[in-house]
Structure 1
Amino acid sequence: MITSSTSARRSRLAGSTASAAALVVLVSACGGTGGGSASAPDNFSYLSVTENTTVKTALTTLSKGECKTAQDGLPLKVETVPQASLDQKLQLLAGQDALPVQFAAGNAPALTQQLYKSGKVADLEAKLTSLGVFDQLEPAAVSTIKALYGGKVEVLPYEYNIEGIFYNKKIFSANGLSVPGTWSELVAAAAKLEAKGIQPFSASGQQGWPLTRLISGYLYRSLGPDALQAVADGKAKLTDPAYVKAAQEVAALGKKGYFGKGVGSIDYDTSMNEFLSGKAGMLYMGSWALANIADEKQNKVGADNVGFMPFPAVEGGKGSIEQYPSNVGLGITLGAKSFDKKTGAWVSCIAKNYGSTALKDQGAISGFKVNTPVENSNEVTGQVRETISASKQNVLWFEALFSTKATTVSQSNAAGLVAGSLSPEKFMRTVQDALAEK
C-alpha cells in the first residue's frame, strides 16, 4: 500500500507552485557559481518529506538486498522535513553549498529549475546515459518530466501517475453501457445513468482540481497536447473561444446534475467513497487511487468491478486518447557536485530495481521499469501498468504551468462553474486575469 498521507497527496496533485518571493531568495542564495559540496560525500544522504514514506522504505529495503554493494560503499542516511518546510530547507542548504546527495525536489518545478540553472542539480539524463541505465526509465515518465522541467530530466520518477476515468463495471453492464470512446458518448452514458437514478460522476468540488482536470482533458483532446503550453507562452488565452468551449462542456455536465447535489461541499475522501461504495458510476482520478481500490475496507464494490478508461476523444480534435495526463508526484533529484562514482553505483541500482521493489512491497507505481515479475493484485492495476509501459507521450494537468495565484483562483472557482453560479466565460476570464498578474 502507498503510505503517503492523503493531505500530502492532495497538495502534491493539485500542482502547487513556489512563490515569487521564494525564488528571489533562492536566486540570491545560489548565485551562478555552481553548487554542492566539492568533497566526496561520506554517505548517500537523502532529504525526504515526512508525509511520504514510500521512497524511504523502498530505499531501505534495497540497501539490505539488491543495492547492498552500493550501501557498503556509501551508506544510506535519511533525513525528513515536513513538506510545507521543504522549499525553505532547500533554499537554506543551497545557500550554504550543503545540499544532500539526493533530495525531494521543491514543491514546484520552478524551484528545481533555479537550482539546476545555478549548477546545483545534476543533469540526470546525461548521468543515467553515462551509467547505461537511462533506458530503465519509462518513456512516458521521461515525457512528463521534460514537460514539467523545460525539456530537461531534472528529477527521477520515484512516483508516476497517469490520470483517466475509473468506472463501475457492474453499473455499466447492468445499464447496457460500453466504454465511451468520444466525449459525445461519455455525455450520452452519463445521461443514461442519470435517467436510471444513478449519479454519473463523483468529484470533489471542495478540492476543485478534479473538476478542472476535466477542462484540461477536453482542451488536450480538442486542441492537441500543446494547448496549455500555448497559454503559458502567451500564444493563446483561456478566453479564446476554443478554450471557453472546454469550460462550457464541463459546466454543462454540472447543469444536468451529473455530479450530484452539493458538489462544492464534497471533499476528496467523500468523493472517493461515493465511487467505491457504488453510489456513482464514474470517477476522474489518477492511478494513485489504485491503493484505495485494492483496499477491501474502502472498496465496497470490489476491485474486479472497477475499470479504467482514457479521457475520451473529442470529435474532430487534434489530440489522442493515448496521451494521458500524468505527474511524477513530488520529484526527487540529485546534487551535481556530489554525484561521484559511489553515487552512480546507487543510482544504477535504483534504476534497475526500484520499480519492482516499490510495486511488490507497497503497491506503488513508479516511472522505473519493473524488471522482476510482480503479480498484480487486481486486473485494473495490471491494466494501468500496461498503459504506462505502452504510453509514449503524455500531457499535464490544467494548472501545471500556472502561477500560485492562478492555481488557487482556478481550483476555488471550479465548483461555482459546475454549480452554475459562475459562467464558463467568467471562469476562464477570472483565471486568465490571474495568470496575467506578475
Structure 2
Amino acid sequence: MSPRMSRAHRARLSLFTAGTASLALLATACGGSGSGSSSAPKDFSYLSVTENTAVKTALTTLSKGACTKENKALPLKTETVPQASLDQKLQLLAGQDALPVQFAAGNAPALTNQLEGSGKIADLEKELKELGVLDQIEPAAVSTVKALYDGKLAVLPYEYNIEGIFYNKKLFSDNGLSEPATWDALVDASAKLESKGVQPFSASGQQGWPLTRLISGYLYRSLGPDALQKVADGKAALTDPEYVKAAEEVADLGKKGYFGKGLGSIDYDTAMNQFLNGKAAMFYMGSWALTNISDAGQNKIGVENVGFMPFPAVTGGKGAIDQYPSNVGLGITLARKSFDDRTADWTACIAKNYGATVLKDQGAISGFKVNADVKDANAVTTQVRDTIGASGQNVLWFEALFSTKATTISQTNAASLVSGSMAPQKFMQTVQDALTAR
C-alpha cells in the first residue's frame, strides 16, 4: 500500500449553507504551493458532542485495550462541544482547514454532504476497502448511511438503530393473536384488542414523530422504498392520492380509538411507560428502546414478554417487510487531510473491535459487526441484532429528507391528524406546502 500522506488534497474554495441551519462556511484552500501534501497529525483527535458519551467511552476503552498499539503511535485526544454548537464549530474548523482527525458529523446531512463535496472528508468506502475492513460494517448500516448522504459512505455507524413494533407477547397470547404480517391483520388485531378492553397502541402525540413514522411505514410498504425520495426529488407529492391514503389509514386507527385518550398530551416517557406497564399492547419505536426494555425497574411486563416485529406488509404493495426504517444517530467521519497510515491503522482497529466493545460495555448496538462472543442482555436484543445482520436494504423515516420547517409542521400536526381534528388531505397538503416553500 502506498503512503497515505501522498493522497492529501488541496481543498478548493467554496461557500455553502449547512442544510436548514443556513449557516455559511468558507472552505479556504489548504496551505502549500503545489504538492497539496498534508502535515502528519500529532494525535488521534476526536471532536464529539457533550450529550453523547458512548463513542468517547468506547474509544477510550479501545485505546487502552484492543487498539493500544495504534494509540501509542497516535494518541487519542478528545474534545466535546454542545450538540447545538456542533455545526458552527465544524464550519469554523473547516474554514481554517483545521478539522480534527475524527469528528461527529453535522446535525443535518446537508452539512456533511457539503464537507464531502469540498474534499474535506476522507473517502471512507475506498479507504476501508483498501484496509480490508469494509465488510466489518453491516450491509444494512451501509445502506442507511448512503441513503442519508447522497449515495456516499460519508460517516461511520458508531450507533445504529432500526425501527419496528414492539409488542406485548402475553397480551397477544391471552387474546389469541399471532404476530400480524399484513396491515389488514394488524388492524384486525387492534380491533380485537380494543373489544377486549386492551388499548392497542401507545404513542406520543406530543412528540408527533412516532405517529408520522406510521405514515412513512405504510408508504414504504405500499409504494416501495423510494416513496419519499420521489417526494424529495419532486417526482411525487404528499398530496397525490396514494400518499394521502397512508395518512388516511393511520388517521383511521386514531378514529377507532386505538391510541387511547388524550394522545396529544402524551409525551415520550409516558408512552414508553404505558407499554412497559402493560397498558398498551403495541409500541412503534426504534431499537434504542432496548435500554428501557432491558431495565427491570422500568419494564413491569417482563423482558421475556416483549416481542419485536417489522412494520407489516400492505397487500399488493411494492415494499418488502424486511426493509426496516433505520438511522445511524450522529454519525462519525474522518478528515481527508489527516488520513495517513497511522489514522488508517486506528480506523481498521475500530472497524474490527468497536461493535463488540460497545455491546459488551454499554449494551448498545452499532453498525459494526460484533467479532467476539458477547452475550446479549436478553432475547429481544438478540432478535434485533439478528434482524440488523440479515437486512440488506433499509429505508428512512417520514421527515428524514424534509426541511426543518416541514419537519416541525409534520410533527406538530400529527396528533391532530390522528385525533380527527385535521383531515388527512389537509395534513398532507400542509406538509407539502412547507416542503415546496423551502
TM-score, normalising length: structure 1: 0.94
Q: Is residue 126 of structure 1 aligned with residue 126 of structure 2? A: yes
Q: Counterpart in 2 of 1:21?
A: 22
User: CA RMSD, aligned part only?
Assistant: 1.4
How do residues 7-406 of structure 1 correspond to structure 2 at under 5 angstroms? Answer: 18-22=19-23, 25-26=24-25, 29-30=26-27, 38-406=38-406
Do the aligned residues in 2 keep the contact of 1:34 with 1:120 (CA within 8 Å)? Answer: no
Encode CA deviations 1:209-255: one digit per residue, 9 max, x unaligned: 00000000000000000000000010000000000000000000001
Q: Alpha-carbon deviation of 1:376? A: 1.3
- 2:45 maps to a residue whose letter is S
- 2:305 maps to a residue whose letter is N
Cα distance 1:34–1:185, how it changes in 2: closer, same or farther (>3 A)? farther
Q: Counterpart in 2 of 1:10?
A: none
Do the aligned residues in 2 keep the contact of 1:63 with 1:71 (CA within 8 Å)? Answer: yes
Q: Counterpart in 1 of 2:417?
A: 417
Q: Alpha-carbon deviation of 1:37? A: 9.3
Q: Is residue 430 of structure 1 aligned with residue 427 of structure 2? A: no
Q: Give, in whole Å, the separation in 2 of the partners of 1:253 and 1:95.
A: 50
Q: Alpha-carbon deviation of 1:38? A: 2.4
- 2:232 maps to a residue whose letter is A
Q: Alpha-carbon deviation of 1:18? A: 3.7
Do the aligned residues in 2 keep the contact of 1:202 with 1:275 (CA within 8 Å)? Answer: yes
Q: Alpha-carbon deviation of 1:21? A: 1.6
- 1:238 maps to a residue whose letter is L
Q: Give, in whole Å, the separation in 1 of the partners of 2:416 and 2:282.
A: 21
Do the aligned residues in 2 keep the contact of 1:33 with 1:119 (CA within 8 Å)? Answer: no
Cα distance 1:34–1:353, how it changes in 2: closer, same or farther (>3 A)? farther
Q: Give, in whole Å, the separation in 2 of the partners of 1:422 and 1:37.
A: 59
Cα distance 1:105–1:426, how it changes in 2: closer, same or farther (>3 A)? same
Please give the secondary structure, in 2, of the residue aligned with 1:159: coil
Do the aligned residues in 2 keep the contact of 1:31 with 1:118 (CA within 8 Å)? Answer: no
Encode CA deviations 1:131-153: one digit per residue, 9 max, x unaligned: 11001000000000000000000
- 1:301 maps to a residue whose letter is I
Q: Give, in whole Å, the separation in 1 of the partners of 2:385 and 2:158.
A: 15
Do the aligned residues in 2 keep the contact of 1:165 with 1:311 (CA within 8 Å)? Answer: yes
Deviation beyond 6 Å, 4+ runs, structure 1: 32-37
Do the aligned residues in 2 keep the contact of 1:34 with 1:118 (CA within 8 Å)? Answer: no
Encode CA deviations 1:342-371: one digit per residue, 9 max, x unaligned: 001110000000000000100000000001
Encode CA deviations 1:21-72: one digit per residue, 9 max, x unaligned: 22xx12xx11576999921111100000111111011111110100000000
Q: Give, in whole Å, the separation in 1 of the partners of 2:28 and 2:152.
A: 21
Q: Give, in whole Å, the separation in 2 of the partners of 1:267 and 1:342.
A: 46
Q: Give, in whole Å, the separation in 2 of the partners of 1:143 and 1:20.
A: 26
Please give the secondary structure, in 2, of the residue aligned with 1:410: helix
Q: Alpha-carbon deviation of 1:108? A: 1.0
Q: Give, in whole Å, the separation in 2 of the partners of 1:264 and 1:50.
A: 31
Do the aligned residues in 1 keep the contact of 2:207 with 2:411 (CA within 8 Å)? Answer: yes
- 1:163 maps to a residue whose letter is E
Cα distance 1:259–1:34, how it changes in 2: closer, same or farther (>3 A)? farther
Percent of residue pairs identical: 76
Task: Give the gaps of 5 or more residues in structure 1.
Answer: 1-16
- 2:27 maps to a residue whose letter is C
- 1:358 maps to a residue whose letter is V
Q: Give, in whole Å, the separation in 2 of the partners of 1:32 and 1:150.
A: 24
